């Protein structure tokens, strides 16, 4: 037997204002997108803004349904919309912001497992990393250099060859 340690490196910014201006704008678009979330069951609203290599920004927000799990998370709404509207254009980065009607979300919210898998598919497909910017309603912004950082040992298309 051998052991292997997997480590990741994150960048942590104290506030959105500490981000470079281009990334501040992307996060602000995620914040705006979350305001249109449809979350009557969880009261947890998430917005995502996807920056494409051509400069286009595609937004998404969570869309719930009384028939769980028929809804979709903000990240998948945005990523799938980007793939449908701009096929073949790589995703550079994704900003994600979350809030709740029940409490203050003061720490960054990371994508759920389904969203990590979906974003991973695009990283593998485009053969380049997707940078993630994660934020709650207020407080720190965590930046991951790649989805692979938060989903090591991912299942991808190489297993299906």
Beta-carbon-side half-sphere exposure of residue 63 (alpha carbons within 13 Å): 10
Q: CB–CB of 50/30 below 8 Å? A: no
State residue 151's pLDDT score.
93
What is the rounded CA–CA span in Å between residue 15 and residue 1?
44
H helix or E strand, kind and range, residue 21 = helix 21-34
pLDDT per position as a tens digit, 122-158: 999 999 999 999 999 999 999 999 999 999 988 888 8
Preceding omega of 73 cis (within 30 degrees of 0): no
**Burial of residue 152 (number of CB atoms within 10 Å: 0-12, 13-18, 19+):** exposed
Residues known to be catalytic: 75
Residue-averaged pLDDT of the chain? 96
pLDDT per position as a tens digit, 50-81: 999 999 999 999 999 999 888 999 999 999 99
Q: Give the largest CA-CA distance in the chain.
A: 51
End-to-end CA distance of the chain: 28
């Amino acid at each position: 037997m051998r052991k292997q340690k997997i480590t990741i490196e994150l960048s942590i910014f104290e506030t959105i204002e500490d981000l470079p201006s281009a990334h501040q704008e992307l996060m602000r678009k995620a914040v705006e997108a979350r305001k249109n979330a449809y979350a009557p069951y969880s009261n947890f609203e998430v917005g995502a803004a996807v920056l494409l290599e051509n400069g286009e920004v595609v937004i998404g927000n969570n869309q719930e349904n009384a028939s769980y799990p028929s809804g979709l998370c903000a990240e998948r709404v945005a990523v799938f919309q980007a793939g449908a509207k701009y096929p073949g254009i790589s995703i550079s980065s994704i900003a994600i912001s979350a809030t709740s009607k029940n409490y203050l979300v003061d720490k960054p919210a990371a994508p759920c497992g389904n969203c990590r898998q979906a974003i991973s598919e695009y990283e593998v497909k485009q053969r380049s990393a997707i940078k993630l910017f994660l934020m709650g309603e207020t407080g720190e912004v965590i930046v991951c250099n790649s989805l692979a950082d938060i989903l090591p040992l991912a299942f991808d298309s190489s297993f299906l060859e």
